[in-house]
Every structure is written in structure tokens, then in C-alpha cells.
Amino acid sequence: MQADYWKQKVCLVTGASSGLGLAIAKALAKREARVVLTAREVVPLEQAAQTLRAAGDEAQAIAADVTQQDQVDRLAEQIGSQYGRLDLLCNCAGRSDRKKVIETTPDDFQQLLDVNFLAAVRTTRTLAPLLIERQGHVVNIGSLACKVAPRFMGAYPASKFALAAYSQQLRLELGPAGLHVLLVCPGPIAREQSAARYANQTADLPAAAQQPGAGAKLRGIDPDRLAEKILVACQRRRLELIMPGGARLLFALSQISPRLGDWLLRRATSG
């Protein structure tokens, strides 16, 4: 592979103030890309960008709420006027949920669809002309829940299934124009105090529902390692990246036999 592939490429990462988004921004900066970080909260976003700049990397923070079209438009205008190009859009903004599906309201579904799916639609539609001109990359950060729908995750699987469908449509319609689209389907990402994130949502759920992946019997994925794999997958113009790779068998069996798939999914999760 080309060692300097990312050098001076203009790369936008949403949800970049922490977690996997920040790890991807750091991996790009390490390869001398020109990284634009965006997220809603100004202070943690600027702190993230400053961390990169302190290491001698080129990084710019532009605060934007990607659930709001006017803010996405301003973000695109700023990138267009400052750089005149865009080589990578990484749609990493999103959040998870914990709730029994029968107790998940239409408003709950709307909120997660907005941040996990429609935000990616907004940014991709708005920035597509710049990306196509460069035969660039769109990276959509999904989840194992793009392929199977575990218990007690509320509206989260539905929002990620939608992202998977959108990624395939983009590939089929814009791939011939040179746009590369990568769907990333990782298991739970390792992070500090992950269980505490859902403490106020899981009072009436099994204790395992508080854990990463709602009790999935999987080791947390190192975000830095995943970020490296994402950049390699882009260079190879792969269509999907699934971690752990063994989950592919569950996905295949679920398509062949939904009954068997449900049984295996119950076995693979606690609670």
C-alpha cells in the first residue's frame, strides 16, 4: 500500500471530540492528513484538536451539530472555502441506547434515527460533490447491530440497520462515479466507565444490559486499533469492515434461518 496515501488529504471526522472519532482523527493526523474535527460541544472539541496540534499535527476544530442542516451547510461552506476539496468524510457521530423495545416510544426512535442515521444522510448529501470530485471516501460507523438486533437496545439497532441500507445504496449509485463507501460494523468499543453510561436507563433491565453491547460476550475493541484498520480498509477500498470477524458467521446463519439466528444471539448475550 502507498505509505504516504493520507498525506495532505483533507479529512472530516464527525463526533471527533472523544472515543472512536478522536482515535480516527489521531490516526489520520499521524499520517499527515489535514484533519477537520467536528462535534457539538465546543470545549471538548477544541481540547481534542489541541491535543493533535500539540503533537505537531494539522488539525482544525469546527463546532457543528450534524442533526441540524443549517449547521451542516455552514460546515461544508467553511471546508469548501478554506480547502476547496474533501477526501474523506467519516460519519462517526452517534449514540447508543438501553431500553425494552416495547417501551421504546416513536419519539425515542426518532431521536436515535436523527443522530445515528439522518445526520450521516445530511453530511453525505451536502459534501458529496467535493468527495466525488476527489474520488474520495465515505466511512459510516455502524455497529454489529447493523446486522442483528440484540435485546434491550431500544431504538439503536433500527437506526444502525438504516445506516447499513443507506451505505449499500450509496455504493451502488455513486460507486461508478468513483466514491468509495465503507460500512464499519464493530462490536463494543473499550472505554472507561462504560457501564455507567446506561445506569439511568436500565433500572428494570438485566444487569448485563448495562454492559458494552448490552451484555454481548465480546472483549471491548481498542479504538486506536480499529482506527488503524479503518484507514487500511479505505486504502484498499473495501466495502465493509466487521470486528470481530467471527461475527460474520452469526450474520450469515441469521439470514439463512432467523430461528437459528435468534437462538445464537440469545446465547451470545447475557441477561
**Do 146 and 183 contact (CB within 8 A), yes or no?**
yes
Residue 5 annotated to the active site: no
Dihedral sign of CA atoms 207, 205, 118, 67 in order: negative
**CA dist., res. 123 & res. 64, Å (int):** 11
Cell of 230: 479503518
**Of the candidates 29, 26, 27, which has an alpha carbon nearest to the alpha carbon of residue 10?**
29
In what helix (H) or strand (E) does residue 40 lie, and over which residues does it extend? none
Q: What are the start-end ranges of the E strands in 118-188?
A: 137-141, 180-186
Cell of 256: 439463512
Choose the catalytic residue: 5, 83, 156, 198: 156
Residues marked as catalytic: 156
